Amino acid sequence: MFEWIDVSIPTGAALYSQLLIGLINGAFYALLSLGLAIIFGLLGVINFAHGAQYMVGAFCAWALLHYAGIGYWPALLLVPLIVGGLSIIIERTLIRHTYKLDHAYSLLLTFGLLLIIEGVFRQAFGTFGQPYAMPSSLTGATNMGFMYLPNYRGWVLVASLTICLVTWYAIERTQLGSQMRAATENAKLTQALGVNVPVLMMLTYAGGVGLAALAGVMAAPIYQVSPMMGAEIIIVVFAVVVIGGMGSIMGSIVSGFALGLIEGLTKAIYPPASSLIIFVAMAIILLIRPAGLFGRSQGVPAAVSVVRGGADTSINPWLSTALLFLAIVAPFFFYPVFLMKALCFALFACSFNLVLGYGGLLSFGHTAFFGGSAYVAAHAMKVWGFPPELGILAGVATGATLGVIIGSIAIRRQGIYLAMVTMALAQMLYFVAVQAPFTGGEDGIQSVPRGMLFGFIDLNDRLTLYYVVLAIFLIGFAAFVRIITSPYGHALKAIRENEARAVSLGFRTNSFKLICFVLAGALAGLGGSTKVIVFGIASLTDVHFAMSGEVILMVLLGGLGTVLGPIFGAFAIIAMESYLQAYGAWIKVIQGVIFIVIVLVFRQGIVGEFDRIAGWGRRLMGRSPSKGVQARDASAGAHN
Amino acid sequence: MSEDNILTTEGLTKSFGGFVAVRNVDLRVRRGTIHAVIGPNGAGKTSLFNLLTKTYPPTSGRIVFDGRDITAMKPYDVARIGLVRSFQISAIFPRLTVRENVRVALQGKTDESYAFWRSGKTLRRLDARVDELLAVVDLTGFADSPAVQLPYGRKRALEIATTIALEPTLLLLDEPMAGLSRQDIARIAQLIRQLAADRTILMVEHNLSVVSDLSDRITVLSRGEVLAEGTYQEVSTMPRVQEAYIGGVHAA
């Protein structure tokens, strides 16, 4: 263990150059979190596509140079105008429709946008980077006495600091800024005072995105211009935003630079921790000061405000019998590996459904439970020689333990902040998986033996394996149904409906939420470790944040807060991935489109909508057809 | 001093930044009475209320409930020892049925609510008590409809049912008449009188006719401070109280 930790404190030039790299990264964190803060401040939208728009900015600069011969300096002006202009179309056609909905919907919609933008660019450019030449006037370096400062980096520092301060000044000290702040406080009143609020919101979105694009142009000569550059940075920026407090412009600037610097310092002292340090800082700050460094403390526990589903608990016995029969004969008609994969993901989807559909907690890093358990189960079975039943048990225990750790940090914040915190913590786990000695880095843990279940059931026989996986699924699903119908499940639903009221009735709501995370962690762990037995592998894909997005998609598609919906969702998404495998990154684009369509049109998911439109859905799923709609009206009313 | 004060505060103060919302309030609520806190808009009534229910911590001062210092207690623990509040906006669980709303409140007192492994059928033993409570607030006929579908006045009644499910010794009502129609006001007033038979009620209320009708004692707040205290007769004739209300004509 200890040979892994190799601490050395560099001196002089080496230290300064790491600090400089840190400051440069910090400049980009500051620019991006500033844009996020501005957009959130006025529109109430968490712009998940922000990183993708930064990436588009960099590509736009590259394309201008490559195809039109337009260089760096004009690009600095042109690119923000182009990308900001395009974002106006996005705002008018898509984002605008989420203003009256819960914040979580805008997060999901812009997550869909991210998938689309990234998918298109990956399809067009692959995952390799494109080089972008530094402007000739800024090549070379200046001797500062204690170190050589590359001129371009010096320029980036000065320019980004200036942009940040000018933006801060514009918002805090000018008439336009005061109109923006007024509209944030009370849009209706501001509108009545003669300010065109919709146009103001549109321009604010364009401005925030323009800042991201500008950051992209400045980043182009430093980093490789690649479709992945946005996704890599945005989760770090979310952590920065959680630390700085979303409402504060100065907070996002200061924390951006400071965290970049801390990251650089860590890189100089102990490199493997540098990708983790910002997430660690976030966790510590949440434990000490839940509102963030610059955020105001929230005295009143705000009601959980996340996507609300029906939270149904009834299952039709006829339908379940029919489905069970179908599951038993299915391997004779469908490819068993596909079915087994779908069943593992169905467990994962049940876990997410428990957290969001019944607990009202938008966990955006849910894959930490799934992937973390997969790694531990794989390691236990391969290296320690655990039999499969103990391997799965180890996975379930890991999921539950991660539930305790992630849950106890995440429940200190609510709604969209909880989403960002869970996402950041999951990303931390991802970096651990990339670097830790036992996870096998890029390769993952491969060829895990399936072994003999209970010493006599040979899992290498495909059909046997299928029925074992089906049995595991049924056990997990039964546990899920018991949880949501138990006394605890009833209390959990009440807390989701109205947290402040639940507190006033004597419920320690945080304990309930923590238990929810632990149970969901265990359930996801069951799915993750079963997947290891099916495929014999645990890899980085299992802990990558894209997987968190996928499980959200499964549950939303199937119907949040319905008992069976997420299982259908899991089958649908896995089927889509199997059949469209040949189309590469287009799958991401399709998934992104589905996200957007669900948010804008089918907020009830397949099962919910099906149910609402067709009257016989009521008999089939045991729900009253109009319930969901009224509930949505009610929650809209509660927010006013 | 005397034991018949169920709730006392000493020098209770709350400031937000520089603004002092509640200043040095000494409140004494006698056991078994209906005590009303009134005052013009911005007098600090709701802030005082939120201090008493521990929604936020006081800047200074002490709160003693039933002989116990609750200044540092958490809101859910306060609820469990018998000090339960209602909300200005009807605080219900909209998508649970009326029955489930009350049942969840009964569940709140038990640690059994953590039992995620147990069947939901164990909750059925609470149903008899649920039916009693629904009968008290005249909601028996609505038991199985989703709470969100109730008319406004009925939602208020439901909220009161969930509140008394905890068998509070002190019931805090935050503007129980806000937004109610004339008939609803009469119904809820009757209900409050009925509830006061075996518990103490402290309420913040704007509607002065309701206050004069229901309350045994009244505390008048103005700018965060206690302006007067006494029966309705006493305080309503005080010049300084009338002065505080000038211009602020409240529903009477």
Per residue in A155-165, pLDDT (tens digit) is 999 999 999 99
Q: Is the pLDDT of residue A27 over 80?
A: yes
- The alpha-carbon gap from B219 to the nearest alpha carbon of chain A, in Å, equals 24
pLDDT at A247: 67
Q: Is the pLDDT of residue A361 over 80?
A: yes
The interface residues of chain B toward chain A in range 26-65, judged by CB-CB distance below 8 A, are 50, 53, 55-57
Q: Is the pLDDT of residue B26 over 70?
A: yes
Per residue in B62-100, pLDDT (tens digit) is 999 988 899 988 888 888 888 988 887 778 898 889 999
CB contact under 8 A, A631 and B95: yes
Per residue in A333-348, pLDDT (tens digit) is 889 999 999 999 999 9
Q: Which range marks the domain in which residue A456 is found?
A: 317-628
The residue with greater pLDDT, A403 or A192, is: A403
Same domain, A478 and A528: yes
**How many CB atoms sit inside 10 A of residue A331's CB?**
19
Same domain, A442 and A514: yes
Residue in A493, A496, A600 with CA at minimum distance from that of residue A556 = A600
The answer to whether position A255 is within a domain reads yes
Per residue in A223-282, pLDDT (tens digit) is 889 998 888 898 889 888 888 876 678 888 999 999 999 999 998 888 888 888 988 888
* Inter-residue contact A491 to A428 (CB < 8 Å): no
Angle at alpha carbon of residue A494, lines to A490 and A499, rounded to 5°? 145
Residue in B252, B229, B227 with CA at minimum distance from that of residue B23 = B227
Segments making up each domain of chain B, as ranges: 5-245
Contact list in B for residue A503 (CB cut-off 8 A) is: 75-76, 79
**How many CB atoms sit inside 10 A of residue A455's CB?**
8
Contact list in B for residue A507 (CB cut-off 8 A) is: 76, 108, 113
Cβ of A462 under 8 Å from any chain B Cβ? Answer: no
Cβ of A639 under 8 Å from any chain B Cβ? Answer: no
Using CA coordinates, name the residue in chain A closest to B58: A299
Partner residue opposite A300 with nearest CB, options B55, B118, B119: B55
Spell out the CATH class of B5-245: alpha beta
- Domains held by chain A: number: 2
Contact list in A for residue B165 (CB cut-off 8 A) is: 505
The answer to whether position A352 is within a domain reads yes
CB contact under 8 A, B107 and A491: yes
CB contact under 8 A, B91 and A485: no
Contact list in A for residue B149 (CB cut-off 8 A) is: 630
Cβ of B119 under 8 Å from any chain A Cβ? Answer: yes
Same domain, A515 and A468: yes
The predicted model gives A439-443 an average pLDDT of 84
The answer to whether position A449 is within a domain reads yes
The residue with greater pLDDT, A620 or A498, is: A498
Partner residue opposite A486 with nearest CB, options B56, B118, B162: B118
Cβ of A491 under 8 Å from any chain B Cβ? Answer: yes
CB contact under 8 A, B148 and A502: no
Per residue in B111-137, pLDDT (tens digit) is 788 888 888 888 888 889 999 999 988
Same domain, A284 and A327: no
Whole-model pTM? Answer: 0.85
Instruction: Provide the CATH number for the domain around residue A63.
Output: 1.10.3470
pLDDT at A626: 37
pLDDT at A8: 60
CB contact under 8 A, A489 and B120: yes
Contact list in A for residue B97 (CB cut-off 8 A) is: none
Of A43-52, A198-207, A348-357, B233-242, least confident by mean pLDDT is B233-242
pLDDT at A559: 84
Per residue in A515-561, pLDDT (tens digit) is 999 999 999 999 999 999 999 999 998 999 889 999 999 998 888 88
A193: helix, coil or strand?
coil
Burial label, A326 (beta-carbon count in 10 A; 0-12, 13-18, 19+):
exposed
Same domain, A323 and A284: no
Cβ of B166 under 8 Å from any chain A Cβ? Answer: yes
Using CA coordinates, name the residue in chain B closest to A633: B148
CB contact under 8 A, B120 and A630: no
**ipTM here:** 0.85
pLDDT at A610: 55
pLDDT at A522: 97
pLDDT at A9: 62
The answer to whether position A81 is within a domain reads yes
Burial label, B223 (beta-carbon count in 10 A; 0-12, 13-18, 19+):
middle
Partner residue opposite A487 with nearest CB, options B57, B87, B115: B115
Contact list in A for residue B113 (CB cut-off 8 A) is: 487-488, 490-491, 507, 512
Per residue in B204-219, pLDDT (tens digit) is 988 888 888 899 999 9
The answer to whether position A299 is within a domain reads no
Partner residue opposite B162 with nearest CB, options A310, A486, A505: A505
pLDDT at A574: 93
pLDDT at A452: 78
pLDDT at A344: 96
Same domain, A278 and A351: no
Residue in B53, B162, B49, B57 with CA at minimum distance from that of residue B102 = B162
Give the confidence band of A78 by pLDDT, cuts at 50, 70, 90: very high
Using CA coordinates, name the residue in chain B closest to A485: B120
Contact list in B for residue A515 (CB cut-off 8 A) is: 114, 116
Q: Is the pLDDT of residue B249 over 60?
A: no
Q: Is the pLDDT of residue A635 over 90?
A: no
User: How far is it, in rounded angstroms, from Cα A195 to Cα A202?
Assistant: 13
Same domain, A243 and A333: no
pLDDT at B99: 93
Give the confidence band of B176 by pLDDT, cuts at 50, 70, 90: confident
CB contact under 8 A, B96 and A494: yes
Contact list in A for residue B101 (CB cut-off 8 A) is: 494
- Best mutation target, B15, B52, B83, B95, to test chain A (most A CBs within 10 A): B95
User: How far is it, in rounded angstroms, from Cα A491 to Cα A470?
Assistant: 30
Mean predicted lDDT score pLDDT of chain A? 84
Per residue in A460-496, pLDDT (tens digit) is 888 899 999 999 999 999 999 999 999 999 999 999 8
The predicted model gives A32-48 an average pLDDT of 88
Matching residue, tokens 């709160």: B63
Per residue in A571-589, pLDDT (tens digit) is 999 999 888 888 878 888 9
User: How far is it, in rounded angstroms, from Cα A354 to Cα A523?
Assistant: 9
- The pair of three-digit structure tokens given for residue A32, joined into one six-digit string: 């991006």
Same domain, A361 and A460: yes
pLDDT at A627: 36
Give the confidence band of A198 by pLDDT, cuts at 50, 70, 90: confident
Cβ of A631 under 8 Å from any chain B Cβ? Answer: yes
Cβ of B117 under 8 Å from any chain A Cβ? Answer: yes
Q: Which of A288, A303, A334 finishes a domain?
A: A288
Q: Which of A249, A268, A288 finishes a domain?
A: A288
- The alpha-carbon gap from B169 to the nearest alpha carbon of chain A, in Å, equals 14
Q: What percent of chain A has pLDDT over 70?
A: 89
pLDDT at A304: 38
User: How far is it, in rounded angstroms, from Cα A254 to Cα A275?
Assistant: 19
